[in-house]
Structure formats: structure tokens, C-alpha cells
Amino acid sequence: MSDTSTATSTGAGVSSGPTLLSLKGVRAAYGQVRVLHGIDLDVHEGEVVVVLGANGAGKTTTMRAICGMVGTAGSITLDGKELVGRKPADVARMGVAHVPQGRGTFADLSVDDNLQLGAFVRKDKEVRADIDRWYEVFPVLGERRTQQAGTLSGGEQQMLAVARALMGRPRLLLLDEPSLGLAPMIVQDVFRRLDTVKAELGTTMLIVEQNANLALGIADRGYVIEAGHIVLSGTADDLQSDDAVRAAYLGY
Amino acid sequence: MSLLTVTQGTTAHKVYRWLPWALFVLVVISVPFWAVHTPSFSVGDSNFTFSLGNLNHAVAYMVGVLGLGLLVGYNGQISLGNSFFMGIGGYLTATLVVDNEWPYLLTLVVVLPVCFVVGMLVGLPALRIKGLYLALTTLGLAAVFPSIVRMDQLRDRTGGANGKRISADLEAPDWLPLEDIAEFLSGIPLIGDWMFGDGRLGGRDADDVWVFILLALLATAAFWVSRNLIYSRPGRSIIAVRDNETGAAVNGVNVPMTKTLTFGVSAALGGLSGTMYAMAIGFVAPDVFGINLAIFLIVGLVVGGVGTLSGAVIGGLVIVFVPHWASQIESVPVVPERYLRGPTGTFFLGVLLIILTFFLPGGIVYGWRKIRARLVTVRPAGHAASGEEVELAEGDSAGGLLSRGQDVLDVDDEEEHGEPVSAPAQATNQGEPT
Amino acid sequence: MELFLARLFDGLSAGATYAVIAVALVLIYKATTLINFAQGELAMLGSFFVYIFAVEQDMPIYVAVVAGMIVSALLAAGIERVLIRPFDPADHLPLVIITLGLFLVINAAAGMIWGFDPRRFPRVFPSGDAWTMGIARLRWYTVGTLVTVLVLLVLLTLLLKKTKIGLAFRAVSSNLESSGLVGVRAGPTLQFGWMLATAVGTLAGALFVADPFRQLDPLWAQRVLIFAAAAAVLGGLDSLWGALAGGLILGFIESMVVGYVDWIPSQMGLAAAVVAIIIVLLIRPNGLFGTRTVERV
């Protein structure tokens, strides 16, 4: 792909509130291997931002860098507060909920335990009420509430993971490849649900995806990452109509 | 950062590679003549000795650590029971020498195959039991050995709880000019007198030196065989199994065969070590080969460096001399005397392990390699120094503190601020013998 | 029949004490997926603390036990903070070596400080028999130990299932990475695990040496560790109740095998234990009650 973008660069766009998350010059490495070479990226309050890229481009690493799961240099701020150097548990306590690649389910704990863990950082008394509400939204989870979470199907675990993340009433929801390993119909269902969450809760989301079509469908803005660099950014519409993006990621 | 840059293929490089070996050989030849006079040094009230007996003991243990290291470090099987095979070797040698009047070295003809076979048999259930469970089971095996030896049915042969004293002596052969060598060494200007005394070998001294020579030769053989094994095709299979069993299998390695054979070789080395112990100390007892020895072997392996061969040399020395010198501490300010009568050796070994894990997680050999890599850079022949080269170690380095990726990123920062960064942050030292 | 009962009661007695120590091992294993070599020695140290409180400070025995548990738990908290926390919990090798080092240090220190002469440990349970039938004697000691173990297990199960810290503990044990993502701090949670396991270990130690037939010396934990580990493995390393089962089974095997099979000398109880583990692991690599989690990728 070319370095020059035909899409507009980020700036004031759709539904933008103040900047919630800001990455500047972020580099990350696993041991001796450098993966990110200077990422700049912003997410505004209330937005859904998507990061597209092929396998190995650095999408997951970006997520892990935000959460402090990988050696990181540069600046990552949430509401102006620096995240780089913090441990994952501390980042979570600041209001960032991360649904990792592969769901990260607590497989041998019950569904109910998983949801309770989602609310671990909360100190209020409405946790049980929230859990019951999720059981209404996802009846399947309600039916299996005492079962080991590892026995759920892939799609069910994805719902559980999203519910778990939202139980914490986070400021920012990070989703790492929600479509991975799921059948196409399930994936569509997942994104439909995410759209509902966006509409009803207004949660700010940063989604990393290989499946560009569905992701751009619910996003406001997007970035494209290749080999550890951001090569393109723009509104979702702009990206969807960009020729290079269409050729490389949308398949037409 | 480095003091010296050496290009592969040049004479300088050859000197760099072989000089340590030459020095090592020199040390090995001269050290018995020094130790035979039991040199000592004093710190405060305490007098710390270094006798030939200690040295022989250490050499015997080196081979035991080597055997353990082969299985754990190079093959990835967490088997901790090598002391069991040392016990077999020690007792077999003891009974054959005392009851059947065999010469010491001949007993190896029995010890090595027996241990190899028993090792392979133990290796069979090890195929199914892995990791932590294997560690516990093999520790259990090591713990059981003293009980087996104490069994009444075997009493005649083993001496039961009292152990067995081996009365046969190893006498230095007449044709070996030990006295001449001793004289020569003491004649060396400046250090001769001080290190080697008056050059005379009284009474049993010559025999003790002879024992050392035999043990050193046996140890050299053991290390040489191990080295060749590791650097050969079967050796690569062994290491491949450690790193990725499925990958190895898919590439045609017969994993069960490799694992059981490695168990066998490791056990044979253990048996050899036991025989060497019998030669060095002349006495075997049940508790010598129990769980304490198993744990000490692990300590020796870790201190020396898991996944290295030369680490075993250091390991053997450490597990003999730390307890020995600890027992010779006369007084320490503040600490009551009776504390010092207790198991101080074990105490210091434990402290050593903890300190090493913080500062030198790979063991002493890795620490040495890192220092060496910072001082000397080896450049491959014909290439200009290239950008980041990744250090290839012979095995895994033990874990360590968080975020090692941070090192790489810090290097980046230097580049951006205009400071020249010496091209390879770590040198490649492929195929180094140590 | 009498002989059988006699053997049974012996096995029960030994088994119960193996079980309590095994529970401590399982607690640490659940939190860290490590077998902590130092746990046995910490229990031994704890038993010496209890001895000091009960005999040298003249406290009533039950108070002394509780005090010993508290002091040893605080020590464990310190150990976790200083020696364990600096390391990545996912990287096992340095942690295993540190616990090995701790094992050696504590083992040696106890020997250095208190010497190896055995000491009389005060009684925790009334002496004498609760029930006899001929030569078979069920001692109060055995009954007391069993009841204590059962109560302990119930309390621990409640703690783990119903409290927030218990949930955190189970989360770290189930999925270390995800637990961080939901805001569970691994360090303090593990520290809690260490404290709990050490307190349980001290209780186990006090019970063990309170046996009228035993005495207190720095080596008891070393002798028992392999049995306790075997019990934990038999029952499944992540199952607390499995540890109880494993301990009891092992106790029975030891007393039955040694009792009934003539040609095996009594020292071979240990060997019997090792053989038992090997056989069980060959058939059920996760132990009898260890959980094999169902994972859908």
C-alpha cells in the first residue's frame, strides 16, 4: 500500500467529544523484536474507532501497549493521564476494559463468576442488578450462569467477554479481533450487538479487526496499520471509499 | 562499548578462542601440586582451607551436575533424581572393590551400563509424566535411595546404615614422574616457592595427586563425550525436543527414543560421578546419596548455569567449597557461636541461589559470557558490522525481570538523540566451547 | 478385624496430617501453579513459633497456635513482597529457584538457631483414646486432627467461593492475564495466597508435632514434605478436598502396605508412596480430582 492517503487525516470528525485516548510516538517490542515503530492515534469520547491491518501488522500489540502488557516507549494518555509504565491492573482501574484476542475467558470459573470479575473494580451495590440485566439481554448466559465458562461456544464466550468488559462500566472499551475464530453468522451477530451497545450506552470503543467490512460498518473513524506504522486514517466513510483500502482489506 | 573487536578467521580470533582452554589446562595440571599442601587463607578468626581431598570431591560432583544438566538443561526434562544414580555408582564400586577385589576403574564396566539401563527404565514412565509431576516423582526417587540401601536384605553388600569403607588404595604408578613435576613447579621464579612449597611429595601425597589425575581424566572424558553429543546430530535432536516437542516430532525426531536415551546417558554420568566419589572419598554411606545431594546438584546446576556445560565445573566447585568454607567460619560479629555450628553451608547456598536469581539469573557462566560479550566483539568474516544482532545463547537464559523489550527501546532512544550506538548490542558467539 | 482397624486408625492419623500440609501446598499451587519448596519449611518455622509462644512465653496452646499462624503469615507476606513480587508471575523458573533457595535458608536457619535436639511439644488435643476395640485404638488426637482438617476445608472453601478476595484468588489461578485486565492486582492477591498458605501450614505443623508420639525438631518438614507433595499430587494439585483424599489414601497405603506385606521394611513407606504416585499419574495425569478444564478456542 502506498504511504500517501487519499482519505482525510484525523481531526474533528463525526460525533467527537473531547479526546479520551491519545497515543503519541508509541513504540513497542517483545524481547528483542520491535513491533511498533511510532504510532499516533486518537480516540474521542463517544466514538467508535477501528484499527485495521493484516496479521502481524501490530494491531494486537497496540492494544497490549495501551494496557501495559508489553514493553512500551512513547506516550499513551487517558483523559490526560499517562498510561505507559503502568501495570494492566492499574490501567483497568482507570476505566479501560480490554477484551483480549481469544476472549480471555476465565474458563474454569462459572459464567456468573466471570461477570462478577468484570465488576471487580466497582465499589457500588448495583453489581447484581447489572448482572441480571445482562442475563436478560443474553438469555443464553442466564441459562448457563453456573456452568464453567469454558464450556460455552465461541460466540457465547464472545458475548460473555463483552458483557464482562461492560460490567466494569468502563470509560473505554478495547476489543481485540472480536471476529477471530467465529463463524460468519456469529460474527455478524456480535457486531450487531456492539452497534446496540454503541447506540444505547454510548461507550467509547477502540476495535482492532481484520474483518474490515463489519468493523467499518459500526465505526466513526478508522486507522490502517502496516508493519508497525499507521499508514492511513480517516472517517469510516472515507476509508470505505478509499481505493487502496478497498483493494487490500475490503476485497473489491 | 567493547574494548576489542576480533574478526572471525583471523589469528587473533583463534587466540581468543583457544587461549582460555590453554589456560584452563595449565591450571588443571598445576593445581594438584598446589592443593596437596592444603593452602589456606584467613579472614578474621577463620582459617579457610583448600585441600586436594576437597578438590577431588568437587571433581566427582562436577560430573553429577553435568549429568543433571544434560537432562534438564539440554533436554528439558525436569528430572531431579540424579543422586539416585550417583548412589548406584558409588555403592556398586564400593562392593566390587571391597568384596570382589576389582580395581576401581574396572568397576566402570559394570556401573556405566547398569546405570544407563536403569536410567532408560526410569525414563519410560517419564514420557508420560511431565513437568512438575516429573520433578516431584524423581525427587521422591532420590529420597528413597537411602532407604533402599538400608534394607536388611542388602546389608551384607552395602554395610547398611553404617556405610562401607573402601580399603583399597589407589597408588601412583612408578613410571609417572610426579616428583619431577613437583620440583619443576616449585622452581618457577617468583611464585614457585609460595605456591608449590618445596617441591617434595611426601608419603601419601603422590597417591592423592594420582587420584586427582585419574578423576580429572575421567571428568574430561565425561565433558568431552557430552560436548560431542550436544554438538552432533543426536544432540540437536535432544535440544530440539527441549524447545518444541511437537515441532521436533514433525521434523522426524523420534521423541520417545531421544528422551529415554538422554535419561540413560544422564544416569550413566551420574553413575560415573558416584564411582568417582568412591575413589575420592573412600567411603559410601546411605545419607550421602539422599535428597540432600539431589538438592545440592540442582543448586550446582543453577549456580553454574542451566543449559551450559562449563557451568557444571563451577557447580561442582560451589557445592563442595561453600559448605566446606562455611563450616570453617569461626566467628561472625553479632551472631552467636552455636549458630555457626549448625548447617551454615546449606544456609549460604540458599542465600547464593536467591542472590543469583536477582542478579545473574542465567548462572555464573551466563554472567561471564555477558561480560565477555561487552569486552570483545566478534565480527563475522567479510561483513561490515551490521545493525542489531541477536545474541544466540546455547540454551534458554533463565527468566528475569519484567519488560526485557525495554532494553531494545532504550537503545532506540540513544539513536534518536544522536549518540552513536555501537552496532551489535550483543555479540554473536556461536559455537563457543564454554 | 482388630488388626485391620488398628492399621486403619494409624493410617487415618498419619493421613490427616499429610492432608493438612498438602492443603497448604495446594493453596500455593492454585495461586501460582508452582510447587513451593519453601512451604514445608515455613510450616516448620511456624511450628517453632507456636512452641516459643506456648512453652517459652507460657501462652495457652490454642492462643499460641493462633499467634504462631499470624506471625508466620506476616513473615510470608514479607517474603512475597521482597523476594517474589519483583518477578513476572508467569515466568516460573526464577520463582522455583527462589523458593528452593528459601527452602535451604529456612531449613538451615532453624537448625542453626534451635539445634537438632528434639523437644516436647505441648498437647493440642486430650491424650488417650476416643474409642478402642482390643488393640485398635482411635486416639483423641486422630479425631481432633480430622475434625480440624474438615473445619479448615469448609472455611477455606467458603473463603474462596464467597468472598471478593477469594474470587480474585481464583481469577489469578484461572487466567493470570485476564485477571489483570479486570483490575485484579496479581501481587497483593498472591501475597494473600502466601499468607493463607503459610498460616494453614503453621496450623498443620502444630497439629503434626502435637502428636504424642512425635517431637519437635527442625527436620520434620523435610521428612514429611514428600508425603504431603505426594498427597497433593494424588488428589490433584488444584483441588483442596482432593488433598484431603490424597492424604488419607496415602496414610492408608503406608500403614496397610507396611503392616501387611512382610518383606517390605518399615522404611519403605516412603517408597510405597512414590510408587503410588507414579501409578496414579500414569493413569490419571491430573491426579484423582484435579480439574481438566474444558476449553473452546
pLDDT in tens, chain B (434 residues): 567 777 777 777 788 788 888 888 888 888 888 888 788 888 877 888 888 889 999 999 999 999 999 998 888 888 888 999 999 999 999 888 888 888 888 889 999 999 999 999 988 888 877 777 788 788 888 888 888 888 777 777 777 777 788 776 777 777 777 777 777 777 777 777 667 776 677 667 778 888 888 899 999 999 999 999 888 888 888 888 888 888 888 888 888 888 889 999 999 999 999 999 999 998 888 888 988 899 999 999 999 998 888 899 999 999 999 999 988 888 788 888 888 888 999 999 999 999 999 998 888 998 888 888 888 877 777 655 444 443 333 333 333 333 334 444 544 444 444 333 333 333 333 333 33
C-alpha distance from B46 to closest chain C C-alpha (Å): 18
Confidence of residue A5 (pLDDT cuts 50, 70, 90): very low
Q: Are B26 and B19 in contact (CB under 8 A)?
A: no
The ipTM value here is 0.86
C neighbour chains, 3+ CB pairs within 8 Å: A, B
Q: Report CA-CA distances (Å) from A88 to A134, B138, C40, C184.
A: 25, 38, 33, 9
Put simply, whether A93 touches C (Cβ < 8 Å) is: yes
**Contact (Cβ atoms closer than 8 angstroms) between residue C251 and residue B97:** no
Q: Which residues of chain C have pLDDT under 50?
A: 293-297
Alpha carbons A86 and A98: distance in angstroms, whole number: 15
Query: What is the rounded CA–CA span in Å between residue B342 and residue B127?
Result: 40
Query: For residue B403, what are the contacts with CB-CB under 8 A and spacing of at least 6?
Result: A70, A71
Cross-chain Cβ contact B409/A72 below 8 Å: yes
Three-state SS for A231?
A: strand
Q: Is B412 touching A (CB cutoff 8 A)? A: yes
Contact A178, A59 (CB under 8 A): no
Q: How far apart are CA A119 and CA B293, in angstroms?
A: 50
Q: Which of residues 236-265 of C touch B (CB under 8 A)?
A: 237, 265
Q: In terms of pLDDT, which residue wins out, B428 or A192? A: A192
Q: Based on the number of CB atoms within 10 Å of its own CB, is B194 exposed (0-12), middle (13-18) or buried (19 or more)? A: exposed
Between the alpha carbon of residue A77 and those of residues A80, A94, B56, the distances in Å are 5, 11, 62
Helix, coil or strand: residue B132: helix
Chain position carrying cell 474533528: A12
Residue type, A172: L
To the nearest whole Å, the CA of C216 is away from the closest chain B CA by 17
> Does any CB of chain C come closer than 8 Å to the CB of residue A104?
yes
C93 at B interface, C-beta within 8 A: yes
Among B388, B390, B404, select the one facing A71 at the smallest CB separation: B404
Cell of B346: 546449606
How many Cβ atoms from other residues are within 10 Å of residue A248's Cβ?
A: 17
Residue B299 to residue C277, Cβ atoms within 8 A: no
Q: Is B414 in a helix, a strand, or coil?
A: helix
Residue type at B197 in one-letter notation: G
C101 contacts B144? CB cut-off 8 A: no
Chain A closest CA to B392's CA: distance in Å?
A: 12
- Contact of B139 with B287, CB cutoff 8 Å: no
Q: Characterize C206-243 residue by residue with b for buried, 16 or more Cβ atoms within 10 angstroms of its Cβ, and e for exposed.
A: bbbbbbeeeebbbebbbebbbbbbbbbbbbbbbbbbbb
Q: Which helix (H) or strand (E) holds A22?
A: strand A19-30
d(CA B201, CA B207): 9
Q: 3-state class of A50 per DSSP?
A: strand
pLDDT at A57: 84
User: What residues form DSSP beta bridges with B360?
Assistant: none
C-alpha triplet B31, B271, C100: angle, nearest 5°? 80
DSSP output for A145-194: TTSBGGGS-HHHHHHHHHHHHHHT--SEEEEE-TTTT--HHHHHHHHHHH
Of A104, A148, A152, nearest to C181 by CB-CB distance is A104
Residue-by-residue DSSP string for A118-136: HTTT--SS-HHHHHHHHHH
DSSP A78-123: ETTEE-TT--HHHHHHTTEEEE-TTTT--TTSBHHHHHHHHTTT--
Set of cell numbers at residue C24: 497448604
How many CB pairs lie under 8 A apart between chains A and B? 38
Cβ neighbours of residue B61 under 8 Å, at least 6 residues apart?
B273, B277, B296, B297, B300, B315, B316, B319, B320
Please state, as a whole number, how many other Cβ atoms lie within 10 Å of the Cβ of residue C245: 20
Alpha-carbon distance of B52 to B58, in angstroms, equals 10
Query: Would you call C183 an interface residue with chain A, using a CB distance cutoff of 8 Å?
Result: yes
pLDDT, position C200? 92
- Cβ-defined contact of C282 to B128 (cutoff 8 Å): yes
Q: How far apart are the first and last CA of chain A?
A: 15
For residue C184, is it left (φ>0), alpha (ψ between -120 and 50) or beta?
Answer: beta
- CA-to-CA distance for A54 and A210, rounded, in angstroms? 6
**How many interface pairs between B and C have CB atoms less than 8 angstroms apart?**
141
Closest by Cα among C130, C157, C154 to C142: C130
Looking at residue C91, its pLDDT comes to: 80
Cell numbers 500489540 correspond to what residue? A61
User: C-alpha distances in angstroms, B228 versus B113, B222, B225?
Assistant: 19, 10, 5
Chain A residues close to B412, C-beta within 8 Å: 27, 34, 73
CB contact under 8 Å between C293 and A107, yes or no, is yes
Smallest CA–CA separation between A187 and chain C, in Å? Answer: 15
Across the interface, whether the CB atoms of C185 and A153 are under 8 A apart is answered no
CB interface of C with B, residues 9-68, below 8 Å:
35
* B347: nearest CB among C109, C237, C274: C109
Residues of A in contact with B403 (CB under 8 A): 70-71
Q: A71 and B390: CB-CB below 8 Å?
A: no
A29 and B413 in contact by Cβ < 8 A? Answer: no
Question: In a 3-state reduction of DSSP, which class is residue B1?
Answer: coil
Identify which of C100, C111, C237 has the shortest CB distance to residue B342. Answer: C111
Grid cell at residue C135: 488393640
Query: Which chains does A contact via 3+ CB–CB distances below 8 A?
Result: B, C
Instruction: Tell me the three cell numbers of residue C136.
Output: 485398635
Question: Exposure pattern of A207-236 as b/e (b: 16+ CB <10 Å)?
Answer: bbbebbebbbbbbbbbbbbbebbbbbbbbb
User: Which residues are CB-contacts of A187 (< 8 A; sequence separation ≥ 6)?
Assistant: A178, A179, A211, A214
CB neighbours of residue C155 within 10 Å: 11
Output the pLDDT for position B392: 37
Cβ contact C35:C29 at 8 Å: yes
CA angle C231, A108, C33 (to 5 degrees): 45
* A34, β-bridge pairs: A29
- Residues of chain A in contact with residue C171, where contact means CB-CB under 8 angstroms, are 106, 109, 117, 120
Residues across chain B:
434
Tell me, yes or no, if C181 comes closer than 8 A to chain A by beta carbon.
yes
Helix, strand, coil abundance in chain C, percent, nearest 5: 75, 5, 25
3-state secondary structure of C230: helix
> What is the Cα Rg of chain A in Å?
18
Contacts of C273 in chain B (CB under 8 A): 140
SS3 content of chain A, % helix, strand, coil (to 5): 40, 25, 35
Please give the grid coordinates belonging to residue A192: 450487531
> Distance (Å, rounded) from C-alpha C90 to C-alpha C97?
14
B342 vs C115: CB contact, 8 Å cut-off?
Answer: yes
Chain A CB within 8 Å of residue B399 CB: no
What are the φ/ψ torsions at residue C98 (nearest 5 degrees)?
Answer: -60, -45
CA distance to partner chain C, nearest, from residue A101 (Å) = 11
Grid cell in block for residue B93? 564400586
From the list B140, B151, B343, the residue facing C108 with the nearest CB is B343
Nearest C-alpha of chain C: how many angstroms from A48? Answer: 20
Closest CA to B305 of B1, B128, B109, B65: B65
Strands A96-99 and A172-176: parallel
CA B212 to chain centre: 16
Say what the pLDDT of residue A184 is. 87
Cα–Cα distance for residue pair B372/B314, rounded to 1 Å: 17
Which residue is closest to B390 within chain A, CA to CA? A32
User: What does the alpha-carbon distance between residue C242 and residue B57 come to, in Å, rounded to a whole number?
Assistant: 44
Q: Which three cell numbers stand for residue A93?
A: 482501574
Amino acid C88: pLDDT: 84
Give the bridge partners for B47, in sequence order. B42
pLDDT tier for residue A7 given thresholds of 50, 70 and 90:
very low
In angstroms, the Cα distances linking C87 to C40, C83, C91, C195, C258 are 22, 8, 8, 18, 44
CA B58, B61, B63 angle in degrees (round to 5)?
A: 120
Distance, CA of B70 to CA of B261 (rounded, Å)? 11
C-alpha cell of residue B245: 516437542
| Spatial contact of C78 and C191, defined as CB atoms under 8 Å apart | no
C163 vs A: CB within 8 A: no
Q: What letter represents residue C9's amino acid?
A: F
Residue in chain C nearest A174 by alpha carbon: C181
**Model confidence, pTM:** 0.83
Say yes or no for a CB contact (<8 Å) between B140 and C107: no
